[in-house]
């Protein structure tokens, strides 16, 4: 069958393309741009790519057009599909019908940590020899692809609460029918769709309604919003994990950090698996421990051993754009992270700051690319979220609907109207031992590449790091 995918270079739709190609279909797709890594992945998989949405890409007519949620009425390709009566589907509908039917679906939902948790769980199942299928909203370094069919019964899917398509405004996750469901956390986000937290809780309630009575739900002990959701009705078995520093209750898995940066842990598994065990792993930060406990709890439920869980966590390779170390120049290290919500921003900055242990400074650059950030829904929380950084360069694009100059004015904050201004500002003060953390849900104007090139020419600022950033 020949499929054409509209909006193919988004992480989710690229995953759909990879699964369809692996299943033996002829796959082509259209998008505005084909930036790496997804553009390169698609080309390597033999997917024919068409830049722009010309109807020429739909000649001859494919058997099915899969339409991404970034497209809407008025798009020339969408209008042509409708006018010509070409069969079409959303990505979530196609995934559920063609690749999830008959599988043991493990869905990972929540406001934060979906990509990392899905990756961790997939690596744990791989370590256990279960060869899971997966679709991840990012590029896991251990696998080199964002999606694959796998060979066993298990399929791990990142369960996004964003809407499905212009013709289906339900969340994507309502299509997946999981037997195992991780509910990682729940906060207000996606304000272009959900006016408040209650509206999101309603959709998570619907998601729980799709889990059968033989299914299992995994959630933390410390999330009030998730507790409100399950109290509205839950017909499946619930299992809890306890993030560090929170009530243990009936938690199956617990963890305590042995280091300030959470890079060495004491893991306490269910008594049926064994005794507490120490774990040294390559990740850091409280939020990554939370994600790991969620993955471990779900893995335990399907029979994975303690040894396989600990081995997989100790060998994690991470995900592109999740605290990804993208380079070091003149002793200045640069990290790229997808954080775009105050909770995620705080988690990322505190994690990297704790790893530095007073050696050098944390320089942060933030781009308000998401709808929630552009509309300023969380503006009152951002100063606190960025408190761990020694200095912050805040991007103020023209589309921003609020003024950082009013809400984020401190001696440690610079408001910049262009990416080049951020590059110049960082290079003016950066010195060996500093770490730069870029945070954006978008491309950030290629800041990482531009910054690494510019850092080649930096010289140590007069007076040392403290003087250079004062005032």
pLDDT-derived band at 397, boundaries 50, 70, 90: confident
Do the beta carbons of residue 94 and residue 66 sit within 8 Å? yes
pLDDT-derived band at 264, boundaries 50, 70, 90: very high
Class of domain 324-468: alpha beta
Mean pLDDT over the full length of the chain: 90
Fold of the 102-314 domain: 3.40.1190
The label of the residue with tokens 């439920």 reads 301
The predicted pLDDT at position 246 comes to 76
Phi/psi for 180 (5° steps) reads -120, 135
Domain coordinates of the chain in residue numbers?
2-92, 102-314, 324-468
Long-range contacts of 456-464 (CB under 8 A, 24+ apart): 456/329, 456/330, 457/427, 458/329, 458/330, 458/332, 458/427, 458/430, 458/431, 460/431, 460/432, 461/428, 461/429, 461/431, 464/431
Alpha-carbon distance values, 338 to 281, 303, 342, 369, 392 (Å):
21, 32, 12, 10, 16
Phi/psi for 142 (5° steps) reads -70, -30
Residue 172 pLDDT > 70: yes
CATH topology of 102-314 equal to that of 324-468?
no
- Cα(158)–Cα(203) distance, integer angstroms: 16
Strand partners, 6: 30, 67
Half-sphere CA count of 84, side-chain side, radius 13 A:
18
DSSP 137: S
Q: What is the pLDDT of residues 111-170, one digit of tens each?
A: 989 999 999 999 999 999 999 999 999 999 999 999 999 999 999 999 999 999 999 999
Fold of the 2-92 domain: Rossmann fold (3.40.50)
3-state helix, strand, coil in the chain (%, to 5): 35, 25, 40
Q: What is the pLDDT of residues 344-363, one digit of tens each?
A: 888 889 888 888 777 899 99
Whole-model pTM: value is 0.89
- The tokens of 388 are what? 């761990």
Strands 2-6 and 64-67: parallel
Beta strands in 215-319 (DSSP E): 216-220, 237-242, 253-257, 264-268, 277-280
């Amino acid at each position: 069958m020949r499929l054409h995918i509209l909006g193919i270079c988004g992480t989710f739709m690229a995953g759909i393309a990879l699964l369809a190609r692996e299943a033996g279909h002829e796959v082509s797709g259209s998008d505005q741009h084909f930036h790496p890594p997804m553009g390169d992945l698609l080309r390597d998989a033999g997917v024919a790519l068409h830049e722009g949405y010309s109807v020429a890409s739909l000649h001859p007519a494919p058997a099915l057009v899969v339409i991404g949620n970034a497209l809407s009425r008025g798009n020339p390709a969408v209008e042509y599909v409708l006018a010509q009566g070409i069969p079409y589907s959303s990505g979530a509908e196609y995934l559920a019908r063609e690749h999830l039917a008959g599988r043991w679906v493990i869905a990972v939902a929540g406001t934060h940590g979906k990509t990392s948790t899905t990756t961790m769980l997939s690596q744990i199942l791989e370590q256990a020899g279960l060869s899971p299928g997966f679709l991840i909203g990012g590029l896991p370094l251990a696998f080199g692809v964002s999606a694959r069919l796998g060979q066993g019964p298990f399929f791990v899917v990142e369960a996004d609460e964003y809407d499905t398509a212009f013709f289906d405004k339900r969340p994507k996750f309502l299509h997946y029918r999981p037997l195992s469901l991780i509910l990682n956390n729940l906060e207000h986000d996606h304000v272009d769709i959900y006016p408040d937290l209650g509206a999101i809780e309603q959709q998570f309630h619907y998601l729980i309604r799709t889990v059968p009575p033989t299914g299992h739900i995994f959630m933390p002990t410390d999330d009030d919003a998730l507790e409100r959701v399950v109290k509205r009705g839950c017909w499946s078995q619930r299992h809890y994990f306890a993030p560090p520093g929170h009530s243990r209750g009936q938690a199956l898995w617990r963890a305590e950090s042995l280091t300030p940066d959470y890079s060495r842990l004491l893991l306490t598994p269910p008594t049926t698996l064994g005794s507490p065990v120490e774990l040294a792993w390559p990740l850091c930060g409280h939020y990554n421990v939370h994600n790991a406990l969620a993955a471990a709890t779900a893995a335990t439920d399907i029979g994975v051993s303690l040894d396989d869980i600990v081995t997989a966590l100790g060998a994690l390779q991470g995900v592109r754009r999740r605290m990804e170390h993208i380079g070091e120049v003149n002793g200045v290290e640069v990290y790229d992270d997808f954080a775009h919500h105050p909770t995620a921003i705080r988690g990322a900055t505190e994690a990297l700051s704790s790893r530095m242990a007073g050696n050098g400074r944390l320089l942060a650059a933030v781009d308000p690319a998401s709808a929630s950030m552009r509309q300023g829904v969380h503006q009152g929380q951002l100063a606190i979220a960025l408190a761990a950084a020694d200095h912050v360069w805040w991007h103020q694009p023209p589309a921003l609907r609020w003024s950082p100059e009013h809400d984020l004015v401190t001696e440690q904050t610079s408001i910049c109207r262009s990416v080049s201004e951020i590059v110049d500002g960082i290079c003016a003060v950066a010195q060996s031992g500093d770490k730069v953390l870029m945070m954006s849900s978008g491309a950030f104007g290629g800041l990482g590449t531009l910054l690494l090139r510019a850092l080649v020419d930096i010289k140590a600022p007069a007076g040392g790091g403290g003087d250079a950033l004062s005032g």
